[in-house]
């Protein structure tokens, strides 16, 4: 549910958590994105950093430049006038994926869990347009939703110590791509040849909060032409 007014939680002596809803939903996350972009556009003196999440925004501020009460007042005003800001339309990125086999070692397990064929799982996964809710966990890791209910799947009971870069996973009602090799407990159903985090580029990741993503099933021999 989207809150009528922001709820504030003090996070230490120089950070404020702004809660805009009580659950994960496209509507609440859209409001978080709007406040995040508008606050950055306003360049409020004393605001050091803003970090958006599913339903909230963490604001780090300098108390020597702006008081907590003044920051709340500014946020309340921004919340009531946010419709005057022109929010950029979300971009859409297509991510090619090789499903199953060595690239997707959990695809068959997911299919058996839902009493589906692997091909049906792939059709469900590629048949949805996903919204990037937030970036976190590792640099460039985009949490995306919502997965079709037909393939919403629990995390692995035992996480892997190393998940290869480019692995496409699902967990509960979300999907995501591991942009770097890292530990992880999501069910791995495929792998993309796209590099979704490159510290040598700016921006280092092509995805940001609010973007839309479509997954495209490709064959393993096609991976080379998608690699960048």
User: Which CATH number do you get for residue 47?
Assistant: 3.30.1360.40
Task: For residues 16-40, give the mean pLDDT.
Answer: 90
pLDDT surpassing 80 at residue 118? yes
- Please return the burial class of 190, using the count of CB atoms within 10 Å of its CB with bins 0-12, 13-18 and 19+: buried
For residue 75, what are its two tokens?
């946020």
Confidence at residue 131, expressed as pLDDT on a 0 to 100 scale: 94
Burial class (CB in 10 A: 0-12, 13-18, 19+), 33: buried
- Looking at the fold, whether 118 and 192 belong to one and the same domain comes out as yes
Is residue 84 predicted with pLDDT exceeding 80? no
Higher pLDDT, 4 or 179: 179
pLDDT digits 0-9 by tens, 155-197: 999 999 999 999 999 999 999 999 999 999 999 999 999 999 9
pTM: 0.88
pLDDT (0 to 100) of residue 96: 97
One domain, residues 20 and 70 = yes
Same domain, 11 and 41: yes
**Is the peptide bond prior to 55 cis by the omega test (within 30 degrees of 0)?**
no
Task: List the domain range (segments joined by +) for residue 182.
Answer: 92-226
**Is there a single domain that holds both residue 29 and residue 55?**
yes
Position 224 scores a pLDDT of 79
Same domain assignment for residues 173 and 73: no
What is the average pLDDT across 136-153? Answer: 93
Tell whether 205 and 156 lie within a shared domain. yes
CA–CA distance from 78 to each of 22, 31, 40, 52, 83 (Å)?
A: 20, 12, 11, 16, 9
**What are 39's two structure tokens?**
């606050």
Which of 20-29, 54-63, 128-137, 147-156 comes out lowest in average pLDDT?
20-29
Distance between first and last Cα of the chain? 40
* Number of domain units in the chain: 2
Same domain as 156, residue 121: yes
Q: What pLDDT score was predicted for residue 89?
A: 85
On whether both 72 and 181 belong to a single domain, the answer is no
State the CATH number of the domain containing residue 198: 2.40.100.10
pLDDT score of 87: 78
Distance CA 26, CA 152 (A): 17
Structure confidence by residue, pLDDT tens digits, 154-165: 999 999 999 999
């Amino acid at each position: 549910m989207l809150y009528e007014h922001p709820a504030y939680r003090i996070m230490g002596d120089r950070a404020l958590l702004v809660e805009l809803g009580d659950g994960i939903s496209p509507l609440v996350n859209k409001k978080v994105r709007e406040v995040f972009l508008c606050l950055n556009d306003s360049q409020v003196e004393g605001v050091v950093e803003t970090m958006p999440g599913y339903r909230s925004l963490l604001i780090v501020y300098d108390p020597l430049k702006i008081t907590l009460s003044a920051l709340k007042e500014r946020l309340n005003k921004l919340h009531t006038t946010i419709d005057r800001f022109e929010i950029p339309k979300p971009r859409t990125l297509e991510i090619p994926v090789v499903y199953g086999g060595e690239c997707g070692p959990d695809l068959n397990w997911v299919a058996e869990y839902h009493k589906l064929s692997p091909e049906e799982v792939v059709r469900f996964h590629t048949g949805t347009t996903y919204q990037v809710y937030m970036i976190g966990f590792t640099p460039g890791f985009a949490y995306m939703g919502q997965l079709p209910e037909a393939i919403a799947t629990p995390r692995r009971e035992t996480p892997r110590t190393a998940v290869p870069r480019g692995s496409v996973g699902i967990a509960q009602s979300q999907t995501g791509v591991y942009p770097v090799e890292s530990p992880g407990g999501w069910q791995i159903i495929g792998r993309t040849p796209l590099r979704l985090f490159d510290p040598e580029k700016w921006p280092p990741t092509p995805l940001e909060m609010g973007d839309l993503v479509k997954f495209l099933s490709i064959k393993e021999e096609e991976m080379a032409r998608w690699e960048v």
